[in-house]
Amino acid sequence: MNRRRFLSMGCVCCLNLIPGISLAQSDSWPDWQIPPRFARPDLSSDEGGLWALMDREEKRVRQSPFCIRDPQLHDYVLDIICRLGGDHCPDIRAYVMHNPIFNAMMAPNGMMQVWTGLMLRIDNEAQLAAVLGHELGHYFSRHSIDQLRDAESRSAFAQFFGIFGLVGAVGQIAAIAGAFAHSREHERVADRIGLELMSKAGYDPAEAAKVWENLLVELKASPNEDPTRENPMFATHPPADERRETLARLVEAHPGGVTNEATWLDKMAPYRREWLDDEIKRSQHEQSIALLNRLISRSPSQPDYLFARAEVRRLRSNDTDLDQAINDYKSAISLGNAPPESYRGLGMIYMARKQTEEARTNLGHYLDLSPASPDGLMIKSYIEEMKI
């Protein structure tokens, strides 16, 4: 099988510190080198047993319906991993997994997962490299070996390994990810190694902090008192303010580098609507609006983002939401190439407001543009009811 086509991103990062290296005590650029490639441990050792278990789970990941099998997307991500990971490239298999949650993970046998919820939130290639570099930092430091050895029972092991085959079970994954998250010290080490890898690969390391900052803005939009506690990443990662300041100091001596924003936008364009649809269905309205506000500010002429924000507002229906949703739907349509569902959304709002003529007109436009839509019969019944 073609090595590049074996890529299919989306998993957990795990590992432990290389002896003699202490990256957490200094804000200077880490004096660190990529370790030699790891030899497969003997099957009779505890580490060898862990690798064998992960190999079994990796087979399930490859066969999962949540695994995205697009050779072009896979090759693109794998190229970034190889630029970051150097000689370790042949040992790493990456899987892009269909899941609206922001997450990436790596197992000790070289299996990496990246979830589409993370990819939706990435602004450019450098930010994706920051996440992948962080995961490689865990891998090179072998953090997950200690993590798995510390599991206290067979059931704990079963839960850990089970996450690789339960990519669609968002609630279960969040709970398990929290239970098996890395320590804050491991996260600090992985941050520094990730920045080193980014810089050597020619990326702008300043983009690393932006990934964290953007996600924090999104979580703070939640109505809960402390939404960061709901996300396993924030439960175990260093505090946001500390992390921002530390990353800023680390990159001061290494300014510059590429972001490759245009390349990234081109690669993710075929998936934009699907990933936005997943975000809408996540039903975290406040967080979704915060995300979409940011995406719209960066790309105001992208109708997909305006449509998605309109859908979230229509579904939430608070105060002025419906009026704002109408404006967003119309703005998306005026830009051209808007999703046909923009007319459906307008029609549903007008129907609820008893504006029959406007409702029938927009729902009819939707059916004209999407005659084979799965909800076509239902929409036709709405139109017929409004004729009576």
* 215 lies in the same domain as 327: no
Q: Is pLDDT above 80 for 328?
A: yes
Residue 260 lies in a domain: no
Q: What are the backbone dihedrals phi and psi of residue 168, each rounded to the nearest 5 degrees, phi first?
A: -85, -15
* 221 lies in the same domain as 362: no
Residue 25 lies in a domain: yes
Bridge partners (DSSP) listed for residue 220: none
* The pLDDT value given to residue 227: 53
Average pLDDT, the chain: 82
Residue 286 lies in a domain: yes
* DSSP 8-state assignment for residue 181: P
* 210 lies in the same domain as 95: yes
Range of the domain at 286: 272-387
Query: What gap in Å lies between CA 53 and CA 56, rounded to an integer?
Result: 5
* The pLDDT value given to residue 268: 95
SS3 string, 138-170, reads HHHHCHHHHHHHCCCCHHHHHHHHHHHHCCCCH
* 84 lies in the same domain as 166: yes
- For CA atoms 344, 349, 353, 355, the dihedral sign is negative
Q: b/e string for 232-265 if b means 16 or more Cβ within 10 A?
A: bbbebbbebeebbebbeebbeebeebebbbeebb
Q: Which residue has the higher pLDDT, 15 or 96?
A: 96
What pLDDT digit, counting tens, does each position of 52-84 carry? 888 888 888 888 899 999 999 999 999 999 999
Residue 265 lies in a domain: no
Q: Is pLDDT above 90 for 119?
A: yes
* The pLDDT value given to residue 169: 45
CA dihedral 10→208→308→69, nearest 10 degrees, is: -20
Q: What are the backbone dihedrals phi and psi of residue 274, each rounded to the nearest 5 degrees, phi first?
A: -65, -45
Q: Is pLDDT above 60 for 94?
A: yes
Q: Which residue has the higher pLDDT, 303 or 22?
A: 303
350 — pLDDT class (breaks 50, 70, 90): very high
* The pLDDT value given to residue 182: 58
> Element (H or E) spanning 228, and its range?
none
Residue 189 lies in a domain: yes
* 290 lies in the same domain as 242: no
Query: For the chain, how many structural domains are there in total?
Result: 2
* The pLDDT value given to residue 216: 84
Residue 259 lies in a domain: no
Can you tell me the mean pLDDT for 49-54?
A: 81
Q: Is pLDDT above 80 for 127?
A: yes
Q: What is the CATH number of the domain that holds 289?
A: 1.25.40.10
154 — pLDDT class (breaks 50, 70, 90): very low
Where do the H-state alpha helices sit in 320-355?
321-335, 341-352
Judged by average pLDDT, the poorest of 65-79, 136-150, 248-262 is: 136-150
Q: Which residue, of 252, 283, 302, is where some domain finishes? A: 252
Q: Is pLDDT above 50 for 85?
A: yes
Q: Which residue has the higher pLDDT, 163 or 57?
A: 57
Per-residue tokens: 66: 């949540």
Q: Is pLDDT above 50 for 384?
A: yes
Query: What gap in Å lies between CA 346 and CA 127, rounded to an integer?
Result: 35
* 122 lies in the same domain as 240: yes
Where do the H-state alpha helices sit in 86-201?
116-121, 125-141, 143-149, 154-162, 170-179, 184-200
* The pLDDT value given to residue 25: 39
Residue 172 lies in a domain: yes
Can you tell me the mean pLDDT for 197-206?
A: 93
Burial class (CB in 10 A: 0-12, 13-18, 19+), 92: buried
* The pLDDT value given to residue 157: 53
121 — pLDDT class (breaks 50, 70, 90): very high
Q: Is pLDDT above 70 for 171?
A: no
* 44 lies in the same domain as 94: yes
Can you tell me the mean pLDDT for 122-134?
A: 96
Q: How far is CA 45 from CA 42, 51, 52, 141, in A?
A: 6, 10, 11, 19
* 237 lies in the same domain as 106: yes
* 50 lies in the same domain as 142: yes
Distance of CA 376 to the CA centre of its chain: 32
* Contact of 13 with 106, CB cutoff 8 Å: yes
Can you tell me the mean pLDDT for 205-212?
A: 89
* The pLDDT value given to residue 291: 97
Q: On the CB side of 19, how many CA atoms lie within 13 Å of its CA?
A: 0
Q: For residue 109, which of 67, 72, 54 has the smallest C-alpha distance? A: 54
31's torsion region: left (phi>0), alpha (psi -120 to 50) or beta? beta
* 245 lies in the same domain as 282: no
* The pLDDT value given to residue 33: 87
Q: For residue 46, which of 147, 140, 117 has the smallest C-alpha distance? A: 147
What pLDDT digit, counting tens, does each position of 180-198 carry? 455 677 788 888 899 989 9
* 232 lies in the same domain as 277: no
Query: What gap in Å lies between CA 264 and CA 274, rounded to an integer?
Result: 16
Residue 237 lies in a domain: yes
Q: What percent of the chain has pLDDT over 90?
A: 55
Q: Is pLDDT above 90 for 308?
A: yes
* 79 lies in the same domain as 170: yes
